[in-house]
Structure 1
Amino acid sequence: MTGEAGGSLPKILVVDDETAIQRFLKTALDNGEYAVHQAENGHAALAAAVSLRPDVVLLDLGLPDLDGVEVIRRIREWSQVPIIVISVREREDEKVRALDAGADDYLTKPFGIGELMARIKVALRRSLQQVPDPVLQIGALCVDLPRRRVTVDGVEVQLTPTEYDLLRLLASHAGKVLTHSQILKQIWGTAYVEQPHVLRVNISNLRRKVEPDPSRPRWIVTEPGVGYRLKDEE
């Protein structure tokens, strides 16, 4: 593992065995905003996660010693550090495995550095919050958790208890992808994990009530084949 002294800068741990990717990310991220540290395999990543206590982990899944999903599971045994997967694996089941194991986000190589920077900022913003903001304001959408009140353009929206629970779950993890199975377990229980149609119907109903144009959702975004994400900013 290599790294630079970063003072109070947020620490980014890059875990990738490809020298070209390491060099690219080091150049892109080491711009005065972040302190970039690197690990080239799973065991080095686990050691660095303990000693360095990074603020964000960028993790490739195809490591030479441990599968990236196993690295995620081991980190999640003791830490909630944001983990953003960066991988060439495009299959939906691979993304679901990583997210279900505890990853916060997933970017498929090749990706734009602008998109990566945006995902890192979301992850850092979320990690700095000890608890979800009690009132989440995203453009015209306002979710007031303590009062169980949802408004769009100041007008209260009447939701069913299930619709509200679904929106509350998404709002509590705003900016993060939640897989179908994660949502189904949380809202309906483990017996419904194999019934994604239940989730689709309720997401559709929720969008009809809160989205300006339900056919082109602005806030409740679909991650195809994986799950849903509530945007945390316009």
Structure 2
Amino acid sequence: MSDLPFTLDQLRILKAIAQEGSFKRAADSLYVSQPAVSLQVQNLERQLDVPLFDRGGRRAQLTEAGHLLLNYGEKILSLCQETCRAIEDLQNLQGGTLIVGASQTTGTYLLPRMIGMFRQKYPDVAVQLHVHSTRRTAWSVANGQVDLAIIGGEIPGELSESLEVIPYAEDELALILPVFHPFTKLEKIQKDDLYKLQFIALDSQSTIRKVIDQVLVRCEIDTRRLKVEMELN
């Protein structure tokens, strides 16, 4: 016996014969010829190596094997219909669950508003938001634990070929000073002036802090000379 000894069409024919009580009425209900129905039943019986109908009476009667196959066949056909509806709902975004990953900053400040707008447009789609570090979030996408993620900064290098990265938005990073600070009156701040300041910065492991440090290095600013008085997570 092969791994798949019957087809969905054969199960539909079996169900129709059981419902209609005859091969002819089953053929009419399925809009096919009676010989085509008879041939499919013969092929099915040969593939399963058991008789499915008792052909001695006027009405097509299922054998014990026929009743067994009909019972499972109806479940299979019902599951196929359910699968098609689920796929259609997913395509139309009329159901299901969307699992979104986010890094700390995007998950705190950006995603809540975006999810709210999405839910207004697709109220039947449940949304789960998982907020972790950029690295952990990227790995969650790679491992299939979340459907998509919106993060700030770059993904880990080892995942560059495993994930598709689509730039979504740009954000501006700025140096914030008290209004009374003398540097606020300057049009430009020189690199050496930065070494005179005392900084409050994000902790060294945060994505934004890494991005800032990369920019400073590209500008030939020695980050080791910057006076970071406080780090925030």
- Smaller-chain TM-score range? under 0.3
Structure with greater proportional strand content: 1
| Superposition TM-score, scaled by structure 2 size | 0.25
